[in-house]
Chain A
C-alpha cells in the first residue's frame, strides 16, 4: 500500500462461488474427480431406468461373460444376476450409506470437537479422553461388534459406520476451534456482548467449515470402503445389491470368471478415488494460502 490510496477501495470481487470455481478448475485432477463423482451420482439416479426390476433376480444364464449379450452387457454371475444392474444399484447403496454415515460422523465430531476446542479445560480433558478411547479401539473391529449386536439391517450398518468414524473429525474440529478461538475476531465478538452459543455457531463454525467439508470427503471415501468390506464378508444387508457383496460372491468363481469381482472392484476404486480427488480440489479451492506461492 502506498500513500494516498487508503480511502480508495479495490474494485469489487466477483461473487464467492465464481472465485471458488475458478480456483477449483485450476486443478485438473480435481476436475477428473468431479467428473467421476457426477458419473457415480448419475449411475445411482438412473439405476431404476437401466433395470426397473430387482437387481438380485436371475436375468440370464449364469456366468455369461461380458460383452456377449445385449440383455446383460457386463455379463452375469454364477446365479445369473446381471452385473451391470448390480453395479448401478450398488452405486445407490454406496452413496446413500456414504452420505448418511458421513453426516452422522461429522455431526457427532463437530459437536464434540467444538465443545472441547472452544471451552478447553476439563471439558476438553473429558471429551478428549473419550475420543482417545474410541480411537484406540480398532474401528473395523468395533464396527463388527456393533453389527454383531445390532444386526445387518442397512439402517443399523449406516449408523454403525457413522459411530466408528467420528473421532477423526472431532479431533480436527477441536484443533480448528482451538486455533480460531484465540483469533481476535472471536474476542471482538465477545467484547460486543455476543453469547457463547452464538460465538460457537455463528462466528467460529462458519470459519471452520472449509476443513470440515474437505474432511467430509475423506470420511465419505472411508465409509464406502467400510461398507464394501462388511458386504464382502457377507455381513451386509442381504436385501440390497452392494459392490462389496458382488466381489465376495465373485471370489468363489475367481478362477473361471474374474470379471465378477473385477468390475465391481473397479467401481469401488473409481468412486473412492473421485472423493479423494474431490477433497483435494476442495482443499486447494477453499484454503488457497497453501498453494499460492
Chain B
C-alpha cells in the first residue's frame, strides 16, 4: 500500500471488513425468519384493514414485491436494512425504525451501567479471590459468584423488588421515571438513576459472576507462569507483581469475554426490562412477540446485532492496544 496509515487504523479497517460478511449473514437470517413466520406484510396489512378481496390482496402483494423470486426479495430486503429501513409496525402505526430509536437510549444506558459495574467489580473480586486462593475470602467470593451465576435474572429481580420496594419501600417498582412528577435538571437525573438501580443491579450481579470466575482462573494461571517467577527473582514485591506482571496479562482473556458476553447481556435485558417496565428494546422485543409484530422483532434483532458488532469491534481495538503481541499490520 502506498498510502501511509497508522497501523492501528489499518487494523481497524481490516476488522471492519471482516464484519461485513457477518452483517450480511445476519441480514439473510432475519429475512429467512421473516419468511418462516406465518403471514407476511400483506396479511398484516389486510388484517389491519379488517379484510379485503382476493384481487386487492394480489395487487398489494405485487406492490410490496412479494410476487417476485425469493432472491430478488432478499436483495430488496437487504438494501432496505442497510439503510435502516425496517418496514412498518402495524402495532405502533409507525415506521419500525422510529419505534426502535425511541427506545434505544434506555437500553444502551442500562447496558453501559450494568456492564461497567459487572466488569469492574468482577475483575477486582476475581483478582482478590485468586490471590487468596482456597482461603476463606476466596471461598466466600467464589460461592457468591456461583450462586449469582445460577440465579435466573427474573428471580433476582423479583427478590430485589420484594426486599427494596415491597418491604423497605426504598425504590420504585418499575418504569424509567416518575410519570406525574415532571422533574427537570438534576432532579430528573436522580429520578432516572433511582429507577435504574434495581434493573442494573439485577443484570450486573449475574454477569459479574462470569467475569469473576474467569478473572480468578486467569490470575491463578498467570501467577504460575515463568515471567512472574522472573519478576519474583528480581526482588519485586507482591503488589508490584500483581499490578505489572499478573493483572496486565490476566486481563486479556477477560477483555475478550467482554465482547462475546455483550450479546448475552443484551438478551438478558429482555427479561429485566419487562419486569421493571423499562421502555427499552428488550421490553419492546417481548411485546412484539406477544403481539406478533414480526417487522419490529426483526428490526430489533438486526439493530441489536449491529450494536454487538460495534461493541465487538471496539473490544478488538482495545485488545489490540492491550496485547503487544498482536501484529497490527
> Which B residues, 235 to 253, have Cβ-Cβ distances below 8 Å to chain A?
none
**CA–CA, A88 and B59, complex, Å:** 55
B binding-site residues for A, Cβ under 8 Å: 21-22, 25-26, 29, 33, 36-38, 146-147, 149-155, 158-159, 161-162, 166, 224, 260, 263-264, 266-268, 270-271, 274, 285-286, 288-289, 292, 294, 297-298, 300-301, 304-305, 308-309, 312
Assess whether A73 is interfacial by the CB under 8 Å rule.
no
CB distance A276 to B146 under 8 Å? yes
Which B residues are in CB contact (< 8 Å) with A276?
146, 149-150
Q: For this complex, into which size category does the number of interface residues on chain A fall?
A: 35 or more
Give the contacting residue for A149; candidates B37, B158, B266, B285; CB below 8 A.
B37
Which B residues are in CB contact (< 8 Å) with A42?
none
User: What 10 A-B pairs have minimum CB-CB distances, sorted nearest first?
Assistant: A140-B267, A133-B25, A272-B150, A138-B267, A273-B150, A265-B155, A138-B266, A148-B289, A138-B263, A232-B154
Which A residues are in CB contact (< 8 Å) with B150?
221, 268-273, 276
Given contact pairs A137-B304, A138-B264, A254-B158, a sample of 10 additional A-B residue pairs in the complex whose CB atoms are under 8 Å apart: A129-B25, A138-B263, A138-B267, A138-B305, A138-B308, A140-B264, A221-B150, A265-B151, A273-B146, A276-B150
Give the contacting residue for A141; candidates B38, B151, B161, B300; CB below 8 A.
B300
> Which A residues, 239 to 293, have Cβ-Cβ distances below 8 Å to chain B?
244, 247-248, 251, 254-255, 258, 261-262, 265, 268-273, 276-277, 293
Chain A CB count within 10 A is highest, among B152, B159, B274, B312, for: B152
CB distance B154 to A229 under 8 Å? yes
A binding-site residues for B, Cβ under 8 Å: 129-130, 132-149, 221, 225, 228-229, 232-233, 235, 244, 247-248, 251, 254-255, 258, 261-262, 265, 268-273, 276-277, 293
**CA–CA, A144 and B29, complex, Å:** 14
CB distance B289 to A136 under 8 Å? no
Which B residues are in CB contact (< 8 Å) with A149?
33, 36-38
CB distance A258 to B162 under 8 Å? yes
Give the contacting residue for B274; candidates A135, A145, A233, A293; CB below 8 A.
A233
**CA–CA, A244 and B309, complex, Å:** 31
